[in-house]
């Protein structure tokens, strides 16, 4: 992994205008990683823009410089482009690609095991729990100086992808980096409060409605909830409002696989899934439906209607339980 860092560093040296992009519906790792990289490159004297197809979720807007993230508009004059935390080209969105000049050199930094290595240079570490961790290591390799803002972005990136340094992907290296980020000026109490104890009321209202129809299958080993578009509209739910639902149901003692089904405008069904046991890979289940992710956290998009998608996905989970 770190063997690719010198190549990346020399590409940065040679570049003057850099664009940083990430996946659509950005999460904490996407926002934290793309802004942290953008700010670190700026400190090196580069001209940098950060772009995302979708707006910053309200829950992450407290992070430094989120207001500087561009929405797709005009073509960006860049000679180097970084894609961070995106498993494939299609995860970034066509509107963003329309702003990326074809001549630009593309570097892909990511931690998804399903990464398609779509760039000119690919730095993919599927053991890393977050792209933010790889970026911290890159910063160390480059001898880059962090400031409290950059450190907070990297901390948020790693914290949100590890369930606050709790998931099995959390290693001693992750904890070391967490410590370094605190040393660089992050206030753990404040960031954690902003990330995990600052929900809008509608997020908890959504949880109340979703849990009314909490469903258990396969002797309680699978728990799932469904969010019809009508509820999304009724509660004016935005990006990020339903993110915590799956963590609540995966915390049930009997549950090995937790699934969240969300009906999207247009009728497709977005599926988020989590596993607590590497023998039951939700990454493989999602890959069957053209999605991807990690062994313990993965997603896919299925054709609707909702009932039908639920039935097909649960059927696949049944086979996973039966074949193990």
Q: Is 110 in the site for Mn ion (CB under 5 A)?
A: no
Angle between helices 5-14 and 131-142 (to 10 degrees): 70
d(CA 194, CA 63): 9
CB of 102 to Mn ion, least distance (A): 27
| Piece in contact with Mn ion (CB under 5 A), picked from 118-126, 130-138, 207-215, 245-253 | 130-138
- Reading across the β-sheet that carries 269-275, which strands appear in turn? 215-217, 222-227, 257-263, 269-275, 297-302, 292-293
| Piece in contact with Mn ion (CB under 5 A), picked from 156-164, 188-196, 202-210, 259-267 | 156-164
CB of 85 or CB of 125, closer to Mn ion: 85
**Residue that is written with structure tokens 């073509």 in the block:** 75
Distance of CA 198 to the CA centre of its chain: 19
Classify residue 258 as left (phi > 0), alpha (psi -120 to 50) or beta. Answer: beta
CB of 215 to Mn ion, least distance (A): 28
Binding Mn ion by CB under 5 A: which of 85, 125, 152, 263?
85
CB of 211 to Mn ion, least distance (A): 27
Q: Is 243 in the site for Mn ion (CB under 5 A)?
A: no
Binding Mn ion by CB under 5 A: which of 24, 29, 262, 263?
29
CB of 35 or CB of 317, closer to Mn ion: 35
Q: In the numeric block, which tokens belong to residue 114?
A: 């399903």
CB of 234 to Mn ion, least distance (A): 31
Q: Is 161 in the site for Mn ion (CB under 5 A)?
A: yes
| Binding residues for Mn ion restricted to 173-232, rule: CB under 5 A | none
| Piece in contact with Mn ion (CB under 5 A), picked from 39-47, 120-128, 129-137, 147-155 | 129-137
| Piece in contact with Mn ion (CB under 5 A), picked from 21-29, 51-59, 166-174, 260-268 | 21-29
Burial class (CB in 10 A: 0-12, 13-18, 19+), 190: exposed
CB of 85 or CB of 263, closer to Mn ion: 85
Burial class (CB in 10 A: 0-12, 13-18, 19+), 212: exposed
Q: In the numeric block, which tokens belong to residue 11?
A: 């590409």
DSSP 156-192: HHHHHHTTTTTSTT--HHHHHHHHHHHHTT--HHHHH
CB of 161 or CB of 241, closer to Mn ion: 161
Pairing of strands 222-227, 80-84: unpaired
d(CA 177, CA 162): 13
User: Which residue lies nearest Mn ion, judged by its C-beta?
Assistant: 29
CB of 224 to Mn ion, least distance (A): 23
| Piece in contact with Mn ion (CB under 5 A), picked from 23-31, 95-103, 231-239, 313-321 | 23-31
d(CA 271, CA 287): 12
Site string for Mn ion, 263-302 (x = CB under 5 A): ----------------------------------------
Binding-site size for Mn ion (CB under 5 A) equals 4
Q: Which residues bind Mn ion (CB under 5 A)?
A: 29, 85, 131, 161
């Amino acid at each position: 992994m770190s063997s690719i860092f010198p190549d990346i560093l020399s590409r940065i040296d040679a570049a003057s205008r850099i664009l940083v992009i990430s996946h659509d519906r950005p999460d904490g790792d996407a926002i934290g990683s793309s802004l942290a990289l953008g700010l670190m490159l700026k400190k090196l004297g580069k001209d940098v823009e950060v772009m995302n197809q979708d707006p910053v979720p309200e829950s992450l807007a407290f992070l430094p410089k989120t207001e500087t993230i561009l929405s797709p508009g005009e073509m960006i004059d860049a000679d180097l482009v970084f894609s961070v935390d995106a498993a494939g080209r299609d995860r970034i969105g066509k509107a963003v690609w329309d702003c990326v000049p074809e001549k630009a050199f593309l570097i892909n930094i990511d931690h998804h095991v399903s990464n398609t290595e779509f760039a000119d240079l690919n730095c993919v570490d599927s053991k890393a729990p977050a792209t933010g961790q790889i970026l911290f290591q890159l910063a160390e390799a480059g001898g880059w100086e962090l400031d409290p803002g950059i450190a907070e972005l990297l901390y948020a990136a790693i914290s949100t992808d590890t369930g606050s340094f709790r998931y099995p992907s959390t290693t001693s290296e992750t904890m070391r980096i967490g410590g370094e980020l605190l040393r660089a000026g992050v206030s753990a109490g404040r960031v954690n409060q902003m990330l995990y104890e600052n929900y809008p009321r509608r997020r908890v209202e959504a949880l109340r409605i979703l849990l009314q129809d909490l469903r258990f299958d396969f002797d309680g080993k699978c728990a799932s909830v469904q969010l019809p578009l009508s509820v999304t509209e009724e509660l004016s739910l935005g990006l990020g409002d339903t993110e915590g639902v799956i963590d609540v149901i995966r915390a049930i003692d009997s549950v090995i696989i937790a699934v969240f089904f969300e009906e999207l405008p247009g009728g497709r069904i977005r599926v988020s899934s989590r596993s607590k046991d590497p023998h039951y890979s939700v990454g493989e289940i999602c890959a069957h439906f053209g999605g991807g992710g990690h062994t313990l956290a993965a997603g896919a998009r299925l054709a609707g209607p909702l009932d039908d998608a639920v039935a097909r996905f649960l059927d696949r989970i049944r086979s996973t339980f039966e074949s193990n």
